[in-house]
Structure 1
């Protein structure tokens, strides 16, 4: 499938990815502004401005084997439309390695975050319902989690190597959501930084020792 308006060089780059590690590295480079376009996203656009401060955390996750697909910071305040908006800090990732999946879920659960798992393995798997992450004047606007249809999966990952597409299309999609709305939920990114080793110096954090031992 040709990606509209994506440069030929970018199309070749994404097509060249053969492993989840390759895909994670390319996603990290897109987050960091080194690549103009990514599959399933508006061509020649980088991450939304509101997620700029999340880039180090998201890139770290991608390079650690967790390929991020969507994220938002915690926020509470008046929007451009004059209405009251509230957001939970949240991230969705696709994981294909069982050990990495367990580490992610264990870390999120230990920190008190909401976890939604949608397993797309061949033959079906566990499917959690979506959780609301954004409200406008108290009314739900967006949600993370929920099963992804085959059609939507193809829209999300066009242009990949066929074997790699098969891996990510049948991976486990995990949504980690702060239980609280607003900036208090930004603690999510600290926990994820310890998981990937981006942060290490905090003896009070139970994951510091584990990550340090694994290098």
Structure 2
């Protein structure tokens, strides 16, 4: 059984109690006239954590540093493997339905990144993720989305948002259902035919300090598809996306959150498992 060792930490002598020494010191009523190492203080079993308020000896600090570095290396290696596997998944996509399914998986956190350059969805869409994933699974390849909001922004300026979603649709029946949903709930509906080559007027969906900041509904040229999928997916996939209708639904009222997304949830009910 190794004996206690002493070290210096934070200008205070610290005794590192190893193994059963603490138990026998307590049984014999002996008091160590220096602070005990926080890595072992009050630890009654191997699964007990360290005392965060107690000083830690140099030995344990070095061990913790090495342990943290090892964890960092393992995490980076795991992330690299996950990204490589994700890249393979995007490269293997052969149909529009494949893209929709992979986008749904990314929205649910099952893939390491999206070809558009995002590791994860924007935090503001967290509550929308289940609906967005299901929309992709029925054939609405979402390209952008946002909730309604009227709260001050991160910079303190006054921001306003309209709830909105835009993306690509190849199925004519789904496109008609989306149009009917927009008509039923009083939503703005913008659609671009694959043959469109004119940049139509966009709809402002976000303002900052009263000035337009973000627009939805504008026609997206083939270069947008190349920029999003070109580095990760096949050329054939890009051509398929460019032949899809571009569909946008927007709540006309600023800040409203209880119309567009509930309407889309209702649309999804027939497809629920």
TM-score where L is the length of structure 1: 0.82
Of 188, 193, 201, the residue aligned with 2:260 is 188
Q: Which residue of 1 aligns with 2:250?
A: 177
Mark the runs of 5 or more structure 1 residues left unpaired by the alignment.
198-210
Structure with greater Cα Rg: 2
Deviation above 4 Å: which 4+ runs of structure 1? 125-128
Of 104, 109, 118, the residue aligned with 1:28 is 104
1:53 counterpart = 2:127: yes
Q: Which residue of 1 aligns with 2:214?
A: 142
Task: Call closer, same or farther: CA 1:31–1:117 in 2, change over 3 Å.
Answer: same
Q: Which residue of 1 aligns with 2:16?
A: none
**1:133-166 CA distance string (max 9 Å, x none):** 0011211000001121232221022222332221
Q: Which residue of 1 aligns with 2:182?
A: 108
Q: Which residue of 2 aligns with 1:89?
A: 163
Mark the runs of 5 or more structure 2 residues left unpaired by the alignment.
1-79
Answer whether contact 1:88 1:133 (CA < 8 A) is retained: yes
Give the structure with the higher percent strand. 1
Q: Which residue of 1 aligns with 2:194?
A: 120
How many residue pairs get aligned? The number is 192
Shift in Å, 1:175: 1.1
Answer whether contact 2:142 2:166 (CA < 8 A) is retained: yes
Task: Call closer, same or farther: CA 1:60–1:126 in 2, change over 3 Å.
Answer: farther
Could you tell me how far apart the structure 2 residues matched to 1:33 and 1:8 are? 15
What RMSD over aligned residues (CA atoms) do the two structures have, in Å?
2.1
Task: Tell which deviates more after alignment, 86-95 or 17-26.
Answer: 17-26
Shift in Å, 1:8: 2.5
TM-score where L is the length of structure 2: 0.65
Shift in Å, 1:20: 1.8
What secondary structure is seen at the aligned counterpart in 2 of 1:80? coil
Q: Which residue of 1 aligns with 2:86?
A: 10
Task: Tell which deviates more after alignment, 97-106 or 145-154.
Answer: 145-154
